Structure formats: structure tokens, C-alpha cells
Structure 1
Amino acid sequence: MVQKILIVGEQDFSVIPQETLKTFALGSCLGIILLDPVVRAVGMLHAALPDSNLNPAKAAQKPGYFVDTGICYLLKLMSQEGCPPDGAGMLAKMAGGAAVLGQADLFNVGQRNIESARALLSRKGIKIISEDVGKHLSRTMAVNVGSAKVVLSSPGCDNWMI
């Protein structure tokens, strides 16, 4: 089985059933998985910030760093394999968006990432079918392309699925 590892600000997709997409250290960052049940494609994004207006130059250079440009860029990439560029009929799963600093998190980045993703996915008609977001824990997320099963892990916890 082949694993594609994504770091913060990256996005990728696959149509190869034996592949797994994986990302680590989803603290306040948000991991977003897009599923196309027709093409049987799976995409993953590891976004750090909610809104590309915070740094348009960085968004142009690395769209996956932001939830808004990252989702749109991932849809564009997946459309090269026949997925609808507007996301019609696609499904989503999400993990991350933690309040890693607890009450000291004045900027509330994790919650803002979650809200940004929910709003954009809703506008595009992409249904979120499962999520494990918020709380105070860092997560690792892996998705098997063939089964679309998502496994999460966190230090000191047993693995769980969403």
C-alpha cells in the first residue's frame, strides 16, 4: 500500500484504490477530505488558516495554506480526473480545528477554520458526512482511497474512524 503524506498547506488527490492519503499534526489546522462517489476519487487538504484575504500573495503561491483557496484548488485538481469542478455531488469529511491553546487562543483559528470550511462547502452543495473537529487535541488523519474510510489518531488515544 502506497502512502502520500501531506504537510501543512498541501493538497492532493488519488483515484488509486490501494493508496492512502495521510497528514499529521492537525491542531488548529483543518484536514478536509473530498470524496467523489462517481469517479471514486479522494482528495485531502491540510489548511492552516481560514481566509486567503489574510495574505493574498501567500494564497497565490500556496493555495492549500488557506481553507477557502485550498478547497477551490483541490476541486480544480480533482476535476482533471473527471470530478465536477464545482463539487456537485461530492461529499466531505473533516478533522482538526482544535483550540490547542485553550482559553489563551485569542484568535480562535481552529474554530474559524471550521466555520470557513462549513460555509464554503455548504455554498458549493458539498455535504459534510462526518467530522471530528474542535476540542483540544492534535489529530493525525489518514484516508484509504479504495474504501474512503478515514482513521484518526492522537497521542494517548486509540485510533477512531469518522
Structure 2
Amino acid sequence: MADTTNNANSASAIREGSEADRTLVIERVFKAPPEKVFAAWTNPEILVKWWGPEGFGTPEHEMDVREGGAWRTVMRNDKGEDHVVSGVYRDISPAKRLVLTWAWEQPDGSRGHETLVELTFEPAGDGTRMRLVQRLFETVEGRDNHRMGWDSSFNCLEQVFA
């Protein structure tokens, strides 16, 4: 989930493609009930076990898990480089739905372009089907970079439930 959403090569790259083109949808099934998968997003003791792509750690995190509450996470790669992302919880329905904003912190400390992340959690046999929809990317490239980051992060999340 490296920050590439603000690295457009030209003005024409900003908001390239339709809104549908700039929306990311990922579905994964995890071997845990919805309550546990939801808790992996809202309980800091669980979040630090999986958050960030493979090879990243989470040395800092703040979570005020309530509607309107802020969250902030520092992901550190194996080179010691920090990637900071933050947002606000918009909607929380335990074990069913979680909506939050998402923006990368820029080198000057300001927040970059904001996207919206909506997660839903549904029972699926012995596990949970989790659906992530992330909207409002500026570019298709930004969407695709987030897909790689989320896919890797969700591989880590699978290990939490193994």
C-alpha cells in the first residue's frame, strides 16, 4: 500500500478513467467468524499482527474506534522507511460494516488525497466473506498499487486466523 496516489506524472493523469475505473473491489474469505474478522480491523492488539503488506511492521497506531473517531497507522518497511496513513471512522456496525477515510501523510506532515474504504463482513460457511471497496482514487495506477498492498496485507491477515 505504498503511497503513489499523489505521484501523477502529469495533470492529465489526475482523475484518469471513470469513477468505476478508479474504484477498487476485493473480496476474500477468512477462516474466522465475522466478529473476529471485524475485530482484526478495530482491536489494536490484533491489527498489529497483520496490518501492512508482507515485510512491513506497524510500530505505531492510534485508533479511536467510534463514528467520527480518528485513526492513524505507521507502517515501516524492511529498509526502515515509514509510510503513514490516517483517516476517520465514518460508519461502524460491529461484525457487519466498517467505513473509514484513508489518506497518506505527505513528507511535510499534511494529508494527501483522501479515499473512502467500505468493508462488509458476511458469514460464509465456517468463515467470513470480507468485501473491501475503496473509492475516489485519483488514478487507475493509484488503485492498482493499493490492490497490491491490500492483497499482501490480507495474506498477512489470513495468517492471524491460521
Same fold flag (TM > 0.5): no
Relative contact order (alpha carbons < 8 A, sep ≥ 6): 1 or 2 greater?
2
Pick the structure with more strand per residue.
Answer: 2
